[in-house]
Chains A and B, each alone.
Chain A
Amino acid sequence: MGVKITDYNSPNIPTWCPGCGNFAIHASLKKALSEMDISPSELFMSFDIGCNGNGADMITSYGFKGLHGRSIPLAIGAHLANRRMTTIADIGDGGCFHEGLDHLVHAIRSNYNITILIHNNASFALTTGQATVTTPKEKPMYGLPKGIPERNISIPEFILNQDPSFYARTYSGNLLQMGEIFKAAIGNKGCSIVEVLQLCPTYNREFTPEWAKENIKDVNEIENYNADSIESARTVLTNNSPLYTGIIYQNKTLPTFYDSLESRKDSITELVDEVKTHDIKNLLKYFE
């Protein structure tokens, strides 16, 4: 019997604001996973602290709601221990680009076979609206009535500069596209990064469904768009109107971290299968 979308439901009632993008993100993710026939017992999800992290008990999985900024290394540790599990690191723009930016850079560089799902609502929402690297300049934010004094970081440009295995952008108002992109990201063998432009009716009010409707376009609308080409990816990203979504870039030739390890080359088991007393007799000879 196949996996049903309802297998992923949890008994807990969501605590997000009405209109929060997380409702749709969760619905699309559950749909994608069930369509891929991945059961909740075959899924590991790590969660950050923030509104995304408040979804940890809204989806059934082997989950771990950890610490702020740390969902990526936590997911990597879990993934390396048992690659039979589909692994998703769930994180916000604050946790990913402030508290834990080092983890993102090294995850892309190392190319673990995991999916990093970035909820970008252009703020630290759960702590009531502080600025992040994606908050528009001059927008008054918590503690910064005149807005951020610094420049922004462009998430897609930053990620592309690390030469990722997979980068896609989607929008929380487009359930169907989100679902398809989640499937492609999970299916990609390598470090797949999905940035979701997330509606936040409380702290990101400028980003409305109406604005999105006018300004967001699917990259597939570009004739012969080639996601294998980093140049094409850069070209579509230099322009913010329209904002392109879809699979922006994919490099299928990058080897994964695990596959590059000499010590694991001939292993047919996973690390979780190997916890037993290992004989050290040969190793001891050196110390005699």
Chain B
Amino acid sequence: MPSQRISVKFGGASGQGINTIGVLLVRALKRDGQRVFAYREYPSLIKGGIASYQVDISNKEINSSSRYCNILLAFTPNSLNEYLKDVKENGIIVYDRKDINLTDEQKLYIEKKNISSIFLDSENIALEAGGIKIMSNIVVLGFLWRILESKLDILVSVVLRHFENKNVDLKAEENCVRAGYNSATFRPEYAKKIDKPKKEMFNNNNGYVMTGNNAIALGAISAGVRAYYAYPMTPSTSIFKYMGEHAKETGILVKQAENEITAVQMAMGSMYMGTRSLVATSGGGFDLMSETISCAGMSETPLVVILSQRTGAATGLPTWTGASDLNIALKAGHGEFPRVVIATSDAKSSYTLIQKAFNLAEIYQLPVILLMEKQISESIFNFKEMPRVEKIERGCIEKTEGEVQRYQITDTGISPRWIPSKDKKPYLANSDEHSQDGSSIEDSERTIAMANKRLKKLETLTKELPEPTLYGDKNPDLVFVSWGSVKNTVIDAIEADKDSRKVGYLHYEYISPLKTERLEELIATNKRLVLVENNQTGQLGNFIKENIGYEFKEKLLKYDGRPFFVEDILDFLKN
């Protein structure tokens, strides 16, 4: 049975608290047995502009958004104008501002699409319920909960839990939820319009809801990360927030550095010394880190950098998503040195891959770049079980007696590495080309030997890495190929349109070094292969071409700051 999906969108301005009610809705829906996915759009400013929070609701696991919504709750005239066109036929609009005046064109659209347009006097309802003006949001949430025909107690308990340690009048919050739910504005036909997905209850309060950045932080904590070096840059910043707010509990050292150059240098220093440390940034900050990535490559110092992408060159669209930094992840840093590039796609993979990233960085003694996107970092994912904890593997030797040398040439290319301590042999990590003992050299013979040794590590590593995963139909006619959050949309689209077509999806989690066997099998059988990427030039496609000479004939590329919506894939399949 294909998945069912409805979408609820809150529209307003930055600073109006729509994130809070979005999160409350997500938590309440999860408790009520729905599967949810939540996606934020917001401008790069503190107050004003147009911001939205969309919650997609399904009977099955979903990890992407619809371009359209069934219910729009608009808190400002601007947001109503912006999002009205996205409201589906038979949908509902709820607005709570008296100064919203619809144009004739909008009125016609509403009529034509049979949309119910509801004015809810939420501010008055809040005041009458003993609340204050700002609680009108909670009134709207209560009203929405009634339309969704869900149990009031669930929402009340979620709201109370959310506000319990905050300085608010809990009784008033509860009364506002109830007042919204019981508002006389409600009519049974509103609820009938919305075709709600089936509910399913499973254990532990129906799983988890968290953002990709939450999952990264949790994964880092699991992996034994003991230092986090921060410099703010959207969309990576909330990892810093989580680490900082839980530092007392975890004992992790959190340091806000003066810039990204400092943050990554500190991380490299800490990793050299033998702890695990993490930095996260976005494209611009990553540019500043690139000299250090080169240095980690040359000195064979383990390093893990998270690069959460947004759209555009320079400042671009700073609060919007994209996947246009694969090129810099693959190529940043001067000179030639081995590296690993991995991309997460959702919360679960973020939790797992950050742990794997540290193991790879330490065993192979090289920089690992973990790609994310705003779509992964800030969207809320809902899943049943946490993935298992990865075993920590560091590849260190315990004793340094005898002739052991830090940059010893070996069959695998991997030299002995040890954690600096009083009872071990001191060594020099060197960014200059060096001999096996770390001393600077300039002669041809040893330069070649050492460069070959470093590159040999990639050969060893490539054998260990998994091939990309093929999802969907076992014998597909058409295969989408991509990386990152595209996976979520394509798989959701396949689920929604399962019966009509034989569609597969090849997902690259480990991008560099590139594994090509599975892809080459698909090429050899003349499958219809479609490259899908959230960038302008098809960067993974170009990297594949660079590796095996294959050029995708069909490309579906999107670079407007928005993620792929389910309809983007479904429409492509229809045409």
Chain A residues with a Cβ under 8 A of chain B: 10-12, 39-44, 46, 49, 54, 56-57, 60-67, 70, 73-82, 84-85, 102-103, 105-106, 257-258, 261-264, 267, 270-272, 274-278, 280, 282-284, 287-288
Contacts and interface: CB of A to CB of B under 8 A. Distances in A.
Interface in B406-437: 419-432
Contact of A81 (B204, B251, B275, B291): B275
A263 B244 CA distance: 9
Interface in B284-301: 291-292, 295, 299, 301
Contact of A102 (B259, B269, B295): B259
Nearest to A42: B422
B422 A73 contact: no
Contacts, number: 201
B253 A261 contact: yes
A128 B285 CA distance: 32
B246 A44 contact: no
Nearest to B244: A263
Given A81-B274, A82-B274, A275 B394 contact: yes
B209 interface: yes
B440 A56 contact: yes
Contacts of A82: 273-275, 420
B59 to A, nearest CB: 21
A285 to B, nearest CB: 10
13 contacts: A12-B439, A65-B440, A70-B291, A74-B265, A77-B270, A80-B227, A82-B275, A257-B255, A262-B248, A272-B226, A272-B273, A274-B251, A277-B223
Nearest to B258: A106
Contacts of B226: 81, 271-272, 274-275
Nearest to A69: B261
Given A263-B252, A275-B392, A67 B292 contact: yes
Contacts of A267: 251
A40 to B, nearest CB: 5
Contacts of B254: 263
Interface residues on B, range: 35 or more
A41 B423 contact: yes
B266 A77 contact: yes
Nearest to A89: B269
A85 B224 CA distance: 21
A64 B257 contact: no
A60 B426 contact: yes
Contacts of B37: none
B267 interface: yes
Given A42-B422, A57-B439, A64-B429, 5 more contacts: A62-B420, A77-B229, A77-B273, A261-B253, A287-B209
B428 A66 contact: no
B280 interface: no
A275 B424 CA distance: 19
B422 A39 contact: yes
Contacts of A106: 257-258, 262
Contacts of B204: 288
A262 B267 CA distance: 20
A67 B431 CA distance: 7
Given A64-B429, A70-B292, A262-B247, A275 B224 contact: yes
User: In this complex, which of B223, B301, B429 has the most chain A Cβ atoms within 10 angstroms of its Cβ?
Assistant: B429
A224 to B, nearest CB: 38
A70 B251 contact: no
Contact of A46 (B269, B271, B277): B269
A1 B203 CA distance: 63
Nearest to A43: B426
Contacts of A81: 226-227, 269-270, 273-275, 277
Contacts of B258: 102-103, 105-106
Contacts of A49: 431
**Which residue of A61, A80, A84 has the most chain B CB atoms within 10 A of its CB atom?**
A80
Nearest to A82: B273
Contacts of B276: 275
B261 A73 contact: yes
Contacts of B420: 41, 44, 62, 82, 85
B440 A57 contact: yes
B251 A287 contact: no
Contacts of B389: 277
A276 B218 contact: no
B438 interface: yes
A57 B428 contact: yes
A66 B265 contact: yes
A255 to B, nearest CB: 15
Given A64-B299, A85-B420, A278 B224 contact: yes
A80 B429 contact: no
B460 interface: no
Closest 4 A-B residue pairs measured CB to CB?
A77-B269, A77-B266, A263-B247, A73-B265
B531 interface: no
Given A57-B438, A275-B226, A275-B276, A80 B299 contact: no
Given A271-B270, A283-B221, A10 B439 contact: yes
Given A67-B295, A102-B258, A278 B273 contact: no
B50 interface: no
Contacts of A79: 269
B358 to A, nearest CB: 9
A262 B248 CA distance: 7
Most central of B205, B248, B266 by chain A CB within 10 Å: B266
B291 A67 contact: yes
B210 interface: yes
Given A10-B439, A288-B205, A77 B218 contact: no
B542 interface: no
A65 B432 contact: yes
B214 interface: yes
A272 B419 contact: yes
A27 B86 CA distance: 74
A263 B253 CA distance: 7
B320 to A, nearest CB: 25
B396 to A, nearest CB: 10
Nearest to A106: B258
